Amino acid sequence: MNSKRLALFVSGKGSNAINLYDYFKDDSEVNVSLILTNNPHSPIIDFAKKNGIPLILLSNKEVGQAEILLEVCAKYEITHVVLAGYLRLIPKVFIDYYERKIINIHPALLPKFGGKGMYGMNVHEAVIESGDTLSGISIHLVDSNYDEGQPLATFYCTVENGDTAEKLSIKVQQLEHQYYPFVVKNSLF
């Protein structure tokens, strides 16, 4: 197998990115070759510096420009992009270039709890309000519509009576950390 060079895109605290990096750090076939963030306050910046991972911080304006993203990814010879809590819309030209090579994780069951505005605690609050007794994570390929690319894997957790959005987010994040790297590893075509 040819070596895969991943770029991790991060907007938040970066726990999934850290988990992915740890999972792949001794992998002979998959390398985390770049971390890209649009959040100057993300703890992932320190993590990348401490671990010697190439890091690029771009403004929200810059990440909206396909040619900038393409140039950065070309420079680091990126073969696949893994979104790890990335909150900006990715330009269509970039998605087309990396067709079927961009993977996202969504912290609820799609398609019901996806789409615009469905991120962070909003998602967990919507699940609790719905009265559904199952939530989980949806891992999927990215296309140019929010949360609508081809599903790769779904993992479930129960929503118990009395669960708050906060409690549910902890259960969901545990699933993310447990399964995202494994699914990524098996979806790098």
Catalytically active residues are: 106
| 136 lies in the site for ligand GRF, by CB under 6 A | no
| 6 lies in the site for ligand GRF, by CB under 6 A | no
| 12 lies in the site for ligand GRF, by CB under 6 A | yes
Q: Write down the least CB distance from residue 67 to ligand GRF, Å.
A: 25
Q: How far apart are CA 42 and CA 78, in angstroms?
A: 22
| 154 lies in the site for ligand GRF, by CB under 6 A | no
Q: How far apart are CA 26 and CA 118, in angstroms?
A: 34
| 143 lies in the site for ligand GRF, by CB under 6 A | no
Tokens of 156: 């479930």
Residue nearest ligand GRF, Cβ-based: 85
Q: Write down the least CB distance from residue 188 to ligand GRF, Å.
A: 19
Residues 72-91 that bind ligand GRF (CB under 6 A): 84-85
Q: Which is nearer to ligand GRF, 67 or 175 (by Cβ)?
A: 175
Judged by DSSP in three states, 129 sits in helix
Q: Are strands 30-37 and 55-57 parallel, antiparallel or unpaired?
A: parallel
Q: How far apart are CA 99 and CA 92, in angstroms?
A: 10
Among 11-19, 32-40, 144-152, 153-161, which window interacts with ligand GRF (CB under 6 A)?
Answer: 11-19
Q: Using H for helix, E for strand and C for coil, what is the string for 63-118?
A: HCCHHHHHHHHHHCCCCEEEECCCCCCCCHHHHHHCCCCEEEEECCCCCCCCCCCC
* 35 DSSP β-pair partners: 8, 55
Q: Write down the least CB distance from residue 113 to ligand GRF, Å.
A: 11
Residues 156-175 that bind ligand GRF (CB under 6 A): 173
User: According to CB under 6 A, which one of 107, 136, 149, 181 is a site residue for ligand GRF?
Assistant: 107
The answer to whether the CB of 66 falls within 8 A of the CB of 45 is no
Q: Could you list the residues that contact ligand GRF (CB under 6 A)?
A: 12-16, 84-85, 105-107, 173, 176
